[in-house]
Amino acid sequence: EAGVTQSPTHLIKTRGQQATLRCSPISGHTSVYWYQQALGLGLQFLLWYDEGEERNRGNFPPRFSGRQFPNYSSELNVNALELEDSALYLCASSLTEYYGYTFGSGTRLTVV
């Protein structure tokens, strides 16, 4: 069974540009979660999508947005990139209302 896959593995962008990160959940999982792991800050919750809808949002500015497609894959968009957006972005999937998240390996975003 394929795990959670994220692309790209690494992404380098210039300040002010937009970044798009993609995530494919485990087959059958309907919930997708996005987390940011910045240096020294642990995993910070960004967004939760389930059945195509945004269910919850973390304490991040509106320039962090995303969506979930009918096949349950998801993308995270970060607009007007700032240097402090440099971090590892992790996607996880689960069955709805199940706590056992399965994480992907992440996308390392570097803003220069």
Which tokens belong to 80?
């007007």
Q: Which of 75, 68, 67, 57 is nearest to 20 (CA)?
A: 75
Please choose, out of 13-21, 62-70, 79-87, 100-108, the segment that lies near other proteins by the rule CB under 8 A. Answer: 100-108
Residue 48 near other proteins by CB under 8 A: yes
Residue 102 near other proteins by CB under 8 A: yes
Residue 47 near residue 58 (C-beta atoms within 8 A)? yes
Q: Cα separations (Å) of 51 from 62, 71, 81, 87?
A: 21, 9, 28, 27
Site string for other proteins, 12-31 (x = CB under 8 A): --------------------
CB of 100 to other proteins, least distance (A): 5
- Residues of this chain that bind other proteins (CB under 8 A): 4, 33, 35, 40-45, 48, 56, 58, 90, 92, 97, 99-106
